[in-house]
Structure 1
């Protein structure tokens, strides 16, 4: 936890997607301080005609390498979110050659009761995952 969902225009190789996921994971580790094995990522690829990502009038150029990253997580501070935006763009540029203009991020915040990692229980509530806290 957090759960990261990536919406991409189809056409990347498996190796490119793996590199993208690894870079995003490093950014998440640095921004949120979660454990290394706290890795939940889902990629959804779309035909180009199925994706419209404009710029809300900000004149942000987009290419076919654009990615939308949806982060579902427990509450995070403004500083953590801003660090994630920056670190993600830096990692994707360094490891994937992606421009920051091709990275859009959305946070969806929920509570400890909204997470079950399996076995029919809410591990944050039962204390198996440390209960309430920043991770």
Structure 2
């Protein structure tokens, strides 16, 4: 039940955007046990001055104007090993399919409880039993 927000440069082509979205979805289903067809993504393109990152880098990682910010909101409970595998699969996949540097793939995970979702109809589909 993840919700993925992808923020990237305004000049990113539709083909690259699609590839990024597909890589993230594939990584979620293959490494993090996300169900098939559970693909909810919001893509925002930004002018250069709207993607802010430290010019000198951070924690030994440097960035370029091709940076892609990815925020995944998903249910809590995944192990550190699963999260590491997810990060690697996303960075490797995006680099392999688009040429974007792995260093420019920035990922944040937000964990929420299963009852924090409504998939429509004003219902809590994963209500506690």
Same fold by TM-score greater than 0.5:
yes
Q: How far, CA to CA, are the matches of 2:35 and 2:116 in structure 1? A: 19
Alignment map for 1:34-49 (pairs within 5 Å): 34-49=34-49
**Where does structure 2 lack aligned partners over 5 or more consecutive residues?**
none
Q: Contact 1:112/1:122 (CA < 8 Å) preserved in 2?
A: no
Structure 1 stretches of 4+ with a deviation exceeding 3 A read none
Q: What RMSD in Å do the two structures reach over aligned CA positions?
A: 1.4
**Where does structure 1 lack aligned partners over 5 or more consecutive residues?**
128-135
How high is the TM-score relative to the length of structure 2?
Answer: 0.90
Number of residue-to-residue matches in the alignment: 126
Q: Contact 2:4/2:72 (CA < 8 Å) preserved in 1?
A: yes
**TM-fit CA distance, 1:96:** 1.1
Counterpart in the other structure of 2:101: 99
> What's the secondary structure of 1:61's corresponding residue?
coil
How high is the TM-score relative to the length of structure 1?
Answer: 0.87
What per-residue deviation string (whole Å, max 9, x for no partner) do you get for residues 93-120 of structure 1? 1111111100111111111121000011
Q: How far, CA to CA, are the matches of 2:109 and 2:101 in structure 1? A: 20
What per-residue deviation string (whole Å, max 9, x for no partner) do you get for residues 40-89 of structure 1? 11111111011112233x23221221111101011122111111110001
Q: Contact 1:65/1:98 (CA < 8 Å) preserved in 2?
A: yes
- Which of 121, 124, 127 aligns to 1:122? It is 124
Counterpart in the other structure of 1:74: 75
Q: How far, CA to CA, are the matches of 1:29 and 1:98 in structure 2? A: 22
